[in-house]
A and B are shown apart, each in its own frame.
Chain A
Amino acid sequence: MVGLKALKNFIGALQSNASPYEIGWGIALGALLGLNPLGTPQAILIFLVLMATKSNLGAAALSTPLFAALALLLDPLAHRIGLALLTQLPSLTPVWTSAYNAPVLPFTRFYNTVVLGNFVLGLILLVPLILLSRQGVLYYRAHFQEKVSQWKIIKILNLTKLAGMLDQVK
């Protein structure tokens, strides 16, 4: 149900006049949120940024679970990245040690190879995702928006009160 709602919101955003950058930011921040464990300070921070900025929530709602699922596949890669950063770069050891002894930072679980690896992956993917998403939205609107708007399902969605309210929020 939640997944359907997220899909509906995302399609609604694509079909509307929402800014491609906002959709791109939504997807990128959603990805970053999905790659980080829930309940950690960084996840809370990303969520607050997502909510406070005009990032597209529909896009974020779709990308978050998508990247959370993708994180399971990326865990080996994330582990390698995290392990390399935490143990194989001596120059970074003082940084990690300081962070480990700092007040709040240990709650981020940065000392876990997969958590750090996924966070770094999320940061690396942030800008490319924004740019790619923007391009994707523009391409979609140029080539598919008309066709998709003819679909019965989209017409039904557009008629619903909820869709209208969502549009207002966005």
Chain B
Amino acid sequence: MRWKYVIPALVIIILLVVFNLFFMDTLLRHGLIAGGQFTFGARVEVASVKTRLSNLSLSIHGLAVADKNAPMKNLFSVETLAFSVDPLPLLSKKAIINEMTLTGLQYGTQRKTSGALPPRRQAKIKKSWLSADSAAGRLAGQVSARAVSQAQALPAFQAIQAAKEQLKTTNVQGLLKPENVPMLKDLSAMKTGYQQKASDYQAQLNQLKIQEALASVGPAFNEVAALKINNPQDALAAKDKIARLNQRVQDLQTLSRRVADLASQAETDFGTPQALRRRIDELKNRDLQTLGTLFHLPTFDFSNLTGLILGPVWMQRLSLTLDWLAKARTIMPAAKTKDKKSAPVTQPRLHGLDVRFPVANRPPRFWIKRITLSGTTGGAGKTNLPVDFSGSLTDLTSDPRLVGRPLRLDVSGAQGNRRIGVLAILDHTQEIPTDQLKIDIAGLRAEELQLPKSDYLPAFQGGNARIAAGVTLTGDQLAASLRLDLTALSSVPTSAPATRDSAAQIAAALWAGIDSLNFEAQATGSPERLNFSMNSNLDQRLAERLQKILGQEIAGVQTKLRAELDKLIAGEQSALLSAFGAEQKNVFGSLASEQKALTDKIAAIQALIREKQTAGTGNLTQPADAIKNKAQDQLKGLFGQ
């Protein structure tokens, strides 16, 4: 044995062990901080680290990870994190942890110092995380961009104030010009139309040549009137004349029907004065509407006002979730190809061949089989009532395909009416990864929802909120939903009445007395085509209230406008009504007069015919009766009676 070599080697080994005993924890602590900062992009603090080589265990105390988006808050903090590494797989460069315990977990707690990293370090970390290039990362970017654009739409309240001011200063007279009132032309056209119609009816009446027809009946009438029927020969002669007169009567009756038809058509064409006034009102309303557009009378689409308020909040949370899912997919990549179990397989290399043998139960490079966790929703800087929760996370691994089971996070907690439940299943065992997240929270107060703060929104307080949210990401296809029910809400204006501007006052009036809301949102699609839909029961109520608020101003302008319009059209309207009355009277008068002449003539002829028929019948039956009587008398004498 070469002791001169062996002894220094042993000394070096002993020194290394001693160094590890005294300094390894410190080195490990610095390593954890550096790795954590790289992962989370914000400051990471570790109070102490304790390692035990005997069982390869590690305990981390006082771990706090700052939130890169809110540097004065912690993303999460842990009181104690303890685990031991399986020694045998370490020899194959595989870190397998059977059980990890995580206690005192908190999130969103207040920090005393900023958790932001120096800008140069942040830039390095941004470059190193490639999640933005992944499908989930692109989705997160899209959602985040949409949240910003949604949030920018909120100042619509200022538009209400601008509209109110505009309504007060609107110069109706100056803008009301004949060229902006098309009904003036319409009224004129209607007047001409009625005159034309009257003229047409007169022409049609003339075409019937009624007076000529009446005149032509005269000779036949006189002939019949002069008839004296004393014997059958007279009757035979009168019969033809009466028949001819009857023919003329039928002609007159035909004419009478045509006049009646014309009268009926004229009634339809002219209509009633009431109908004409209705038509004038319609035209007036139409022009008022057009004038409203010209004067830019405000019209607001507040069909999704709640979406404008709650949408960005939801989208920001969704974006954050997707960002984390993108990171999870980077850390836990989905299976790409299946291992071929048939062996041996040779692979050519520069020197020789690598022969692959079947792998049985090969563990992944990194695998935490189970994390038992517990914590609270409360903590420093939080005003909410804390809820203690506990749960587990299983199968956190660098190679889910080898493990064959998805990562599963199941956390729940309850305290009184407050309840929290989170279930996440990240299945990266197949070629297309599927990530599911379900969150069910009940008993939240409105202020805990962290709704946006604005002069135009009330500070929602109290109440009882229930949130049911879900995200499913299959490959790059997103399906996310949210349902928020908020009841027993009290809305308090964010600023004192004196300091509020007019728009904020309008907003305060708009929100006053609203004590409940529900909101539903959905997001579906891929990074290239992302669809959002949001709706709420509140939108209709807010729209109605808005209408009420602006109603008086709008009504004032509209009354003024109507009065001015009435003045402007008064002449034309009067002329139209006069023309209508005159022409209608004219047409109907002519028609009635002609009809009367025809009816009278027909009646006279019919009376004459009846008279002649009666007279004729009487004269012819008297001689026959005399002969009959004479014959009876002669027969009586013949038989002696």
Across-interface contacts of B349 in A (CB, < 8 A): 112
Across-interface contacts of B344 in A (CB, < 8 A): 86-87, 93, 96
A97 to chain B, nearest CB (A): 5
Give CA–CA (A115, B352) in the complex, Å.
Answer: 8
Residue picked from A87, A100, A117, most chain B C-beta under 10 Å = A100
Quick one: which of A100-120 are within 8 Å of B by CB? Answer: 100-101, 103-104, 106, 111-115, 117
Quick one: which of B344-385 are within 8 Å of A by CB? Answer: 344, 346, 349, 351-362
Give CA–CA (A53, B5) in the complex, Å.
Answer: 9
Across-interface contacts of B2 in A (CB, < 8 A): 51-54
Let me know if B92 and A106 touch, CB within 8 A. Answer: yes
- The contact of A111 among B1, B355, B362, by CB within 8 Å, is B355
Query: Does A169 interact with chain B (Cβ within 8 Å)?
Result: yes
Quick one: which of A76-101 are within 8 Å of B by CB? Answer: 78-79, 82-83, 86-87, 93, 96-97, 100-101
Mostly helix, strand, loop or mixed at chain B's interface? Answer: loop
Query: Does A75 interact with chain B (Cβ within 8 Å)?
Result: yes
Across-interface contacts of A169 in B (CB, < 8 A): 4
Let me know if A52 and B6 touch, CB within 8 A. Answer: yes
Let me know if A103 and B92 touch, CB within 8 A. Answer: yes
- The contact of A82 among B1, B9, B352, by CB within 8 Å, is B352
Let me know if B358 and A117 touch, CB within 8 A. Answer: no
- The contact of A75 among B89, B351, B358, B361, by CB within 8 Å, is B351
A113-B355 contact given A53-B1, A93-B344, A97-B343, CB 8 Å threshold: yes
Across-interface contacts of B631 in A (CB, < 8 A): none
Query: Does B226 interact with chain A (Cβ within 8 Å)?
Result: no
Across-interface contacts of B360 in A (CB, < 8 A): 97, 101
Let me know if B343 and A114 touch, CB within 8 A. Answer: no
Let me know if B1 and A103 touch, CB within 8 A. Answer: no
Give CA–CA (A166, B2) in the complex, Å.
Answer: 14
Let me know if B359 and A87 touch, CB within 8 A. Answer: no
Give CA–CA (A115, B355) in the complex, Å.
Answer: 11
Query: Does B91 interact with chain A (Cβ within 8 Å)?
Result: yes
Give CA–CA (A79, B350) in the complex, Å.
Answer: 12
B159 to chain A, nearest CB (A): 70
Give CA–CA (A106, B357) in the complex, Å.
Answer: 11
Give CA–CA (A111, B347) in the complex, Å.
Answer: 10
Give CA–CA (A87, B342) in the complex, Å.
Answer: 13
B347 to chain A, nearest CB (A): 10
Query: Does B88 interact with chain A (Cβ within 8 Å)?
Result: yes
Let me know if A100 and B357 touch, CB within 8 A. Answer: yes
- The contact of A113 among B6, B352, B357, B359, by CB within 8 Å, is B352
Nearest-neighbor residue (CB-CB) of A80 within chain B? B352
A79-B91 contact given A54-B2, A101-B362, CB 8 Å threshold: no
- The contact of A54 among B1, B89, B355, by CB within 8 Å, is B1
A97-B353 contact given A103-B91, A169-B4, CB 8 Å threshold: no
Give CA–CA (A111, B349) in the complex, Å.
Answer: 12
Nearest-neighbor residue (CB-CB) of B358 within chain A? A97
Nearest-neighbor residue (CB-CB) of A169 within chain B? B4
Across-interface contacts of A106 in B (CB, < 8 A): 92
Give CA–CA (A83, B361) in the complex, Å.
Answer: 26
Residue picked from A78, A82, A96, A103, most chain B C-beta under 10 Å = A103
Let me know if B355 and A51 touch, CB within 8 A. Answer: no
Let me know if B1 and A75 touch, CB within 8 A. Answer: no
B254 to chain A, nearest CB (A): 117
Across-interface contacts of B356 in A (CB, < 8 A): 100, 111
Give CA–CA (A113, B351) in the complex, Å.
Answer: 8
Let me know if B353 and A83 touch, CB within 8 A. Answer: yes
Let me know if B92 and A78 touch, CB within 8 A. Answer: no
Nearest-neighbor residue (CB-CB) of B4 within chain A? A169
Nearest-neighbor residue (CB-CB) of A72 within chain B? B351
Give CA–CA (A117, B9) in the complex, Å.
Answer: 31
Give CA–CA (A117, B353) in the complex, Å.
Answer: 11
Give CA–CA (A101, B359) in the complex, Å.
Answer: 6
- The contact of B91 among A86, A93, A104, A113, by CB within 8 Å, is A104
Interface string of A48-59 (1 = CB under 8 A from B): 000111100000
Give CA–CA (A93, B355) in the complex, Å.
Answer: 11
Nearest-neighbor residue (CB-CB) of A100 within chain B? B357
Residue picked from B357, B358, B360, most chain A C-beta under 10 Å = B357
Give CA–CA (A115, B360) in the complex, Å.
Answer: 24
Across-interface contacts of B346 in A (CB, < 8 A): 87
Let me know if B353 and A113 touch, CB within 8 A. Answer: yes
Let me know if A96 and B88 touch, CB within 8 A. Answer: no
- The contact of A96 among B6, B9, B352, B357, by CB within 8 Å, is B357
Let me know if A103 and B352 touch, CB within 8 A. Answer: no
Let me know if A103 and B351 touch, CB within 8 A. Answer: no
Let me know if A112 and B343 touch, CB within 8 A. Answer: no
Let me know if A104 and B92 touch, CB within 8 A. Answer: yes
Give CA–CA (A87, B352) in the complex, Å.
Answer: 13
Let me know if B351 and A100 touch, CB within 8 A. Answer: no
Give CA–CA (A52, B4) in the complex, Å.
Answer: 9
Give CA–CA (A51, B9) in the complex, Å.
Answer: 10
- The contact of B352 among A52, A54, A117, by CB within 8 Å, is A117
A103-B358 contact given A79-B353, A112-B349, CB 8 Å threshold: no
A35 to chain B, nearest CB (A): 12
Across-interface contacts of A114 in B (CB, < 8 A): 351-352
Across-interface contacts of A113 in B (CB, < 8 A): 352-353, 355
Give CA–CA (A51, B6) in the complex, Å.
Answer: 8
Nearest-neighbor residue (CB-CB) of B89 within chain A? A103
Nearest-neighbor residue (CB-CB) of A102 within chain B? B92
- The contact of A97 among B354, B357, B361, by CB within 8 Å, is B357
Across-interface contacts of B357 in A (CB, < 8 A): 93, 96-97, 100-101, 111
Let me know if B89 and A79 touch, CB within 8 A. Answer: no
Across-interface contacts of A78 in B (CB, < 8 A): 352
Nearest-neighbor residue (CB-CB) of B356 within chain A? A111
Give CA–CA (A113, B361) in the complex, Å.
Answer: 25
Let me know if B91 and A75 touch, CB within 8 A. Answer: no
Give CA–CA (A82, B346) in the complex, Å.
Answer: 12
Q: Told that A51-B2, A101-B362, A111-B356 touch, could you supply 18 new A-B pairs with CB distance under 8 A?
A: A51-B5, A52-B2, A83-B353, A83-B355, A87-B344, A87-B355, A100-B358, A101-B357, A103-B88, A103-B91, A106-B92, A111-B355, A112-B349, A112-B352, A112-B353, A112-B355, A114-B352, A115-B352
Closest 6 pairs between A and B when the two form their complex, measured CB to CB: A114-B352, A103-B91, A113-B352, A100-B357, A86-B355, A97-B357
